[in-house]
Structure 1
Amino acid sequence: MGGAPGVTSARYAGPECDATANNAKLLRELEGVRDDKRTARFVCVIALAAPGRETRLFRGEASGRITRELRGRAGFGYDPLFLSDDLGKTFAEVPPGEKNRVSHRGRALAAFREALDSEEATTDEH
């Protein structure tokens, strides 16, 4: 799909559309596509910027595949279609804590938190 829906994923089916319409469009776009070609990933980047300091970026990624039907009731957005490689279930089929442990946002936030903790430890030593 050439990177689609990409950064415009919230408006994939149009500016006034919701997650239901976005999911329906994604399923239509992937009709007839083999399972091994339905790969997907979520990416999140957190930037830490402060005056006089180097800007730092923290990236998290979750890899998976797009299912052929909605699965699960939890989560939001594309969660019912995103079959996580780590979980073997869609993000909508697992509790939020389990999803957050392996999600793109959870991983980016964990890297961010680790850097802050490391910086605090260094600051405390001086």
Structure 2
Amino acid sequence: MSGPVRRVVLATHNPHKVEEFQGIVAATRPDLEVVGYDGPEPVEDGVTFAQNALIKARAAAAHTGLPALADDSGICVDVLGGAPGVFSAYWAGHAKDAAANLALLLDQLSDVADPHRTAQFRSTIALVVPGGAEHVVEGVWPGRLATAPAGGGGFGYDPIFVPDGQDGAERTAAELSPAEKNAESHRARAFVALAPLLATL
């Protein structure tokens, strides 16, 4: 290896997000080690992805003394005016029940025809360096919502999200391999914008 590995904490207690970020980062920045966060969870009382990402990154940087990344993301459905959006994780209530969230969203769209089921996964990543700079970047993954879940991979709303631009038979994000998802996802797209900022660490 050409140089020392630099640790960056990912401000989440969600092991799926940690694993996904590790995959994305490893492909382009093997000199960075993404580690999970085990400190107290701050209250995410922002009303935008950017506000919540900064709240989480600031808390993790302060708690660990490491540069901190935080992702706030969700699914934004056009016919619902961009909802669930920032409330994606709590769409069916504060239990953060992924299956209930997905079922509720499908039920709300049950009478919506395919041409009107367009949606985007949005990821906003904040980078906070202790005592230093703060940066926010965004990635958008356009697609539409299927009428029923398919696939056993991914998490959250992945089983009903059909990304745009697929060749051949269309698959949901949950039917993509981890490598395919990590190359195209909203988090991967946000990371492309983040990479030059990480180079300054």
Structure-2-length-normalised TM-score: 0.54
- The one-character-per-residue Cα deviations of 1:93-125 (angstroms, maximum 9, x if unpaired) are 0111111111111111122123333x47xxxxx
Distance 1:17 1:110 in 2: 29
Distance 1:109 1:15 in 2: 29
Shift of the 115–26 alpha-carbon distance from structure 1 to 2, 3 Å rule, reads same
**AA partner of residue 101 (structure 1):** A
| Unaligned residue ranges in structure 2 (runs of 5+) | 1-79
Give the number of equivalent residue pairs.
118
Shift of the 17–59 alpha-carbon distance from structure 1 to 2, 3 Å rule, reads closer
Distance 1:76 1:33 in 2: 24
Distance 2:96 2:192 in 1: 32
Query: Which residue matches 1:115?
Result: 197
Distance 1:104 1:65 in 2: 14
- Correspondences of 1:13-28 after superposition (within 5 Å): 13-28=92-107
Query: Which residue matches 2:83?
Result: 4
**AA partner of residue 57 (structure 1):** V
Query: Which residue matches 2:118?
Result: 39
Query: Which residue matches 1:81?
Result: 160
How far 1:17 moved relative to its partner? 4.8
**Alignment counterpart, residue 64 of structure 1, candidates 143, 151, 176:** 143
Shift of the 70–52 alpha-carbon distance from structure 1 to 2, 3 Å rule, reads closer
Helix, strand or coil for the counterpart of 1:9? Answer: helix
Shift of the 97–114 alpha-carbon distance from structure 1 to 2, 3 Å rule, reads farther
Query: Which residue matches 1:91?
Result: 173
Shift of the 49–19 alpha-carbon distance from structure 1 to 2, 3 Å rule, reads closer
Q: Which of 1 and 2 has higher RCO (CA within 8 Å, sep 6+)?
A: 1
Distance 1:113 1:52 in 2: 17
Shift of the 112–28 alpha-carbon distance from structure 1 to 2, 3 Å rule, reads same
Helix, strand or coil for the counterpart of 2:140? Answer: strand
Helix, strand or coil for the counterpart of 1:80? Answer: helix
Shift of the 52–79 alpha-carbon distance from structure 1 to 2, 3 Å rule, reads closer
Structure-1-length-normalised TM-score: 0.83
